[in-house]
Structure 1
């Protein structure tokens, strides 16, 4: 077994990060292909991808509920398993499943009843509404199997089978790459076909994970008697769910705010351009999120062991790796932007807007390693308040005031510039926080060594 407090930090960082990076890359591949297929729809691709952009706030909010309940449920299940309370763990499994079923049903009904009003509120126009509605109506129909299947996948990790949980996600993502072109082009369903492919994969995940907990060789079993809401279990789940739910809601809110400014200053195709550019951004950010997962385990362990120099070393090695990777991404998108844009659209008008925006919006790409890994460092050492503040700093505390002010004076160019300006300020502030924390840990380390 690895000695997390003694083995070479660079070796550990590679070993613990690579699996998460691979999983993130597969997810990124699915998202990229999904949007690329939609953007390549002949004659309507530009407005179709703009319609997809309109759905992002709602899509994120649905995911917020699913992720939050899944995290709350799997964390409580792990605690009960650690305490050898298997029966209570199974009760929590049933309650998590029931909560996701109920939430999925409520989201489906309310979403379908008020779909036009919701999409208009999120930036749809007469031109983009048909595409947004075609896509989102199918996604909403699949909300029940999506959310409940997602919670069971998380529970599989808590059950001690993380590789199986990852395998299911990877298989479903790869199947989606097959289903998307099949339903979009071969069967001629257009953007609705992309949603059908997604929901079929969610159904496969639901069937696979349900089978595992009912007929498979799982440690815990999903029993009918436990699929009912119990006050104590629900409170325990929701208590842990609050933080991830708030973070996901913030992400959805940022999509909403950005869409409003894009629609106001650039129209429908500006939303499509932002959807395209953020898709390109995710190609380079997703591996950094994977890196952060590997770092989190190593920093938390070494901080707990009072190996403060090692925590600093892991942080700096991670940030260096992130900077190099993101700087390569910056160079590629700076000198070959058309190659990336053409993955998602061949529409001349949309392409022109994308090429104007990408050079401004991604100008601070190399700095994002600090913005992503800095808050993760504080989360890893148990300083949740600092982590929450620094996470919200870039996309809420700084971004919203900046875009509100600068867009009034610079119009669409101001919308593109808002995020880079927020990135620069966030990087400076996060660096100050990190330097202070590292100095504080160095003092604690010296005192600890004197006592020892």
Structure 2
């Protein structure tokens, strides 16, 4: 048993969760900061239409991310469990098959996306004023999709083998590079929205190079050999089956964003789309630490599932829920107390500020409950429960939020405020449903392994 496996199997849960979750959380916060800083540069250097243009193309980034997570979450879950079973040969096949899948994906996205950039952003809700900004930004982003999916997917593999530090470093490299290039391209070279997009794809290239170096080092237990790149139908099928929940989470987010862009454009015009673009980046900052905690939890749950160690799984889940709730509560308190200062970081337009402050306060009020829902989804993914994972992945966004944003604006003439109110209602309902499903799932799992204890 190597040091990584010893950590997952025997170390104190609080210590191992902290050791794995801290780098992942830092990486997620860094990623959220990248999104916020990028939007601040665009808002200050280009203006409201620049922010709206980036908001319009968000579904593109989300769809690319979702496909990368489809492979990354599925292969990461399989790697954790097979490390627990000591099947290193299968681990290598899983990793290399995931590289094949994500490589083909990047080529397809890059070619087709660049060719059809204009109709894509038009479909996603770009108004006449916003379209030039969204089109210029997304065309450059599609070039970066050649390697961006690989970065996202492979980070999941790195964390799955208990090495979240290197996953964190790859993201920090991208963040720091992006800040520097944003400033140079937008303010010094005056390249506008194209400069913002170029800074983004070049920063992702830095992360990509670091990951390639890591995979060829002694720090990884994955062996990259030609014989492992032979497509394995059963492995690819299981990767997709398990990872589909992560895919569904992101795709549902993309669908929601498309619908929101159209509704916001109809009810509030370009300004409302820009406000949502800002709020999306702020809530992303709240959610990213949660993702870090979940990513720290999953290797522990997956490995100990392979070892059939139920007590360690229970302790990990309880500690994760406590930590995610505390983290989000602190974030919400800051957002509720200082909304004006937060919104004004992006743009100082008084009309945008007056509407954006109230909208932000409404949207984030129930965010502490999201940690429970995300933990439930993470558990299902780690245990390889594909059907439950899929249901929980579409619960909040598709089954609850979309009906709410279609209905609430028409109730008592709420209009645009009905959109903002839909967020906290969906958060609360999804938490309640997730608790009921997760308790039943975990009790069934314990009974199946003949180790039933009351939870």
TM more than 0.5: yes
How far apart are 1:428 and its partner, in Å? 2.2
From 271, 295, 298, the counterpart of 1:296: 298
Aligned to 1:183: 185
How far apart are 1:406 and its partner, in Å? 1.0
Matches within 5 A, 1:222-301: 238=240, 241-300=243-302
How far apart are 1:129 and its partner, in Å? 0.9
Tell whether the 8 Å contact from 2:24 to 2:167 is kept in structure 1 after alignment.
no
How far apart are 1:145 and its partner, in Å? 2.9
SS of structure 2 residue aligned to 1:40: helix
Q: 1:421 to 1:411 in 2, by over 3 A?
A: same
Distance in 2, matches of 1:447 and 1:73, equals 28
Tell whether the 8 Å contact from 2:20 to 2:163 is kept in structure 1 after alignment.
no
How far apart are 1:142 and its partner, in Å? 2.0
Tell whether the 8 Å contact from 2:122 to 2:131 is kept in structure 1 after alignment.
yes
Q: 1:170 to 1:89 in 2, by over 3 A?
A: same
Q: 1:384 to 1:107 in 2, by over 3 A?
A: closer
Are positions 1:37 and 2:41 aligned together?
yes
Aligned to 1:405: 407
How far apart are 1:16 and its partner, in Å? 3.3
TM-score normalised by the chain length of structure 1: 0.84
Distance in 2, matches of 1:418 and 1:357, equals 11
Count of residue correspondences: 443
Distance in 1, matches of 2:408 and 2:364, equals 18
Tell whether the 8 Å contact from 2:95 to 2:157 is kept in structure 1 after alignment.
no
Tell whether the 8 Å contact from 1:68 to 1:245 is kept in structure 2 after alignment.
yes
Distance in 2, matches of 1:75 and 1:386, equals 15
Tell whether the 8 Å contact from 2:92 to 2:228 is kept in structure 1 after alignment.
no
Q: 1:408 to 1:429 in 2, by over 3 A?
A: same
Tell whether the 8 Å contact from 1:295 to 1:315 is kept in structure 2 after alignment.
yes
Unaligned runs of 5+ in 2: none
Distance in 2, matches of 1:266 and 1:394, equals 24
Shifted more, 141-150 versus 288-297: the winner is: 141-150
Distance in 1, matches of 2:300 and 2:212, equals 32
Tell whether the 8 Å contact from 1:39 to 1:345 is kept in structure 2 after alignment.
yes
What RMSD, in angstroms, separates the aligned Cα atoms of the two structures? 3.7
Are positions 1:144 and 2:146 aligned together?
yes
Matches within 5 A, 1:347-358: 347-358=349-360
Aligned to 1:342: 344
Distance in 2, matches of 1:108 and 1:266, equals 33
Aligned to 1:120: 122
Question: Which of 1 and 2 has greater Rg?
Answer: 1
From 359, 366, 369, the counterpart of 2:368: 366
Q: 1:147 to 1:430 in 2, by over 3 A?
A: closer
Q: 1:247 to 1:222 in 2, by over 3 A?
A: farther
Aligned to 1:332: 334
Distance in 2, matches of 1:312 and 1:220, equals 32
SS of structure 2 residue aligned to 1:135: helix
Aligned to 1:48: 50
How far apart are 1:232 and its partner, in Å? 7.5
SS of structure 2 residue aligned to 1:326: helix
1:196-249 deviation digits (Å, cap 9, x = unpaired): 1111122333444445657999763465x9889787876676555544333332
Distance in 1, matches of 2:161 and 2:10, equals 29
Q: 1:428 to 1:84 in 2, by over 3 A?
A: closer
Distance in 2, matches of 1:293 and 1:74, equals 10
SS of structure 1 residue aligned to 2:361: helix
Aligned to 1:220: 223
Aligned to 1:129: 131
TM-score normalised by the chain length of structure 2: 0.83
Matches within 5 A, 1:147-162: 147-148=149-150, 150-151=152-153
Unaligned runs of 5+ in 1: none
Aligned to 1:63: 65
1:304-342 deviation digits (Å, cap 9, x = unpaired): 3232xx655543433333333322222221221011111
Aligned to 1:416: 420
Tell whether the 8 Å contact from 1:45 to 1:347 is kept in structure 2 after alignment.
no
Tell whether the 8 Å contact from 1:150 to 1:206 is kept in structure 2 after alignment.
no
How far apart are 1:374 and its partner, in Å? 2.8
Q: 1:77 to 1:375 in 2, by over 3 A?
A: closer
How far apart are 1:5 and its partner, in Å? 7.4
